[in-house]
Structure 1
């Protein structure tokens, strides 16, 4: 079925006026033009919409059904036209942002506050996504922009059509058992200790697990992985209990503070929190506003 909004508008006026002549007068058309539009509309439909009643036209059951839906469609068209012709502040946009644990806790509230001050017509809808699947979630239109991760020692290959911007860089840190406090000020002794005790790391099959092992290698450490744990909070808790060493970053430690001694991992390995979006999405003012809000959310952290 193919019809136009112009035909539906004319149909509504005909139904309300009862004659083609009355509709023509109301619309400023000729009766012949109205008849042609109604003939074209009828040709696009499987059932008759008009029944003759002398000089007047009445609606069939199909016509009544069409009028009901046409009224809704025409009202929606009117509202859409009014919204798009009004000021940008009247055009509310919701942008879906893919987030993960530590980044969400650090960035969401500041980003929302920034948008309220600079672009109140734009709202964020956070959606938790496995950080390894952020690019695919964008490409499959599940989310519009994402907070993702990149590691110095395990960089992500670029994906066609996606733009990545670094928002924040932070170092890897070793979360040590309480008994290792005496090693925190001596890098050489710390490396020797780290090579001699058990470790708690994510599976090597994961992006973070590989990044951890590459970072350890850069530090001159071959971790003896005794416990394979994915959840960062659990890993930190195990280190705190004396089970072994794990890796974390300042943002992770903010999510799960610990009383354990913490030392920067030798070798200066970092991870980057990045904003990822389709290049085409960045042509939308709403998505650009959200990326700017996320950038501003991480700016104070970079200064600390």
Structure 2
């Protein structure tokens, strides 16, 4: 069976008005044009839909059935046209966002609050993904957009069709054992201490582990890594207990507040939090709206002062 929406619209008017002439006048067509449309509609159907009753046109049982479904289809067509008439539709869009620990804690609540106040038809579904797997998760379509990490000293290789946007940049901080508290104001003494102390760092084969070691080298420190730990909270707890020095960032320390002394790592060691999305996904209004919400979520952090405590 074949028909067009134009044929269904004309059929509905013919059925409701009862004559081809009346339908033609209502639609602004000629009677011949209406007759041709109805002949084409009938040709694509297995059963007759019209029965002649003098000059009037009445519907067969098949015609009554078609009229019922034509009304439903035409109503849905109007609903679809209204939903697509602008970026703010009545349809609720759910956008999946890949998140990891420290960025999720910092960004999700303000991003969701921003969406509720500016784009109530767009919602976030947070999906936890290993931060090192984030670009591939985006590329494969597993998630729509993601919070990812990039390091100046250990950059992620670019992926075709994937766009990254800087959201926030934060420095590396040394989380020191308690006895090193007095060294924070003396860079030379701090570097000397860091070169003889034990360290707690992530594995060297991880992006963060490589970035930590490169940043230390730039600062003139060759860390004596005695403990290889991936979990941020565990690393900070070990430093707090006096086991050694570890590296963290202000947002990472939000996951595990500590009374242990901290000092900014000499040099320009830092990590960048980025939004990652396929360029094709950013053609969706909903995904762009979520990206804008993530940008807004990190704006207050840019003004926050970071440094030794």
TM-score range, shorter chain: 0.7 to 0.9
Using the alignment, how far apart are the partners of 1:260 and 1:26 within structure 2? Answer: 86
CA distance in 2, matches of 1:203, 1:274: 22
CA deviation after TM superposition for structure 1 residue 124, in Å: 2.3
- Cα distance in 2 for partners of 1:74, 1:82 equals 12
Q: Which residue of 1 aligns with 2:233?
A: 233
Partners of 1:169 and 1:228 in 2: how far apart? Answer: 25
In structure 2, the CA distance between the partners of 1:22 and 1:147, relative to structure 1 (3 Å rule), is: same
- Report Cα offsets for 1:7-30 as digits up to 9, x if no partner: 77789x6xxx7xxx9797897675
Residue 36, structure 1, aligned to residue 37, structure 2: no
Secondary structure of residue in 2 paired with 1:290: helix
* Bigger mean CA deviation after superposition, 28-37 or 120-129: 28-37
Aligned to 1:246, the other structure's residue is in SS state strand
Mapped to 2, the partners of 1:24 and 1:225 lie a distance apart of: 88
Looking at structure 1, the residues matched to 212 and 38 of structure 2 have their Cα atoms a distance apart, in angstroms, of: 73
Q: What SS is found at the alignment partner of 2:296? A: helix
Structure 1 segments unaligned to the other structure (5+ residues): 43-47
The equivalent residue for 2:289 is 289
Q: Corresponding residue for 1:213?
A: 213
In structure 2, the residue matched to 1:144 is: 144
Q: State the shift of 1:301 in Å.
A: 1.0
For residues 284 and 87 of structure 1, do their structure 2 counterparts lie closer, same or farther at Cα, with a shift above 3 Å needed? closer
Q: How many residues align?
A: 290
Structure 1-normalised TM-score? Answer: 0.78
- Asked if the contact 1:10/1:23 (under 8 Å) is kept, the reply is no
Give unmatched runs, 5+ long, in structure 2.
25-32, 53-58, 305-309
The residue number in structure 1 matching 2:79 is 79
- The Cα of 1:38 is off from its aligned counterpart by 4.1
TM-score (norm 2): 0.77
- The answer to whether 1:245 aligns with 2:249 is no
- How large is the RMSD of aligned CA atoms in angstroms? 3.5
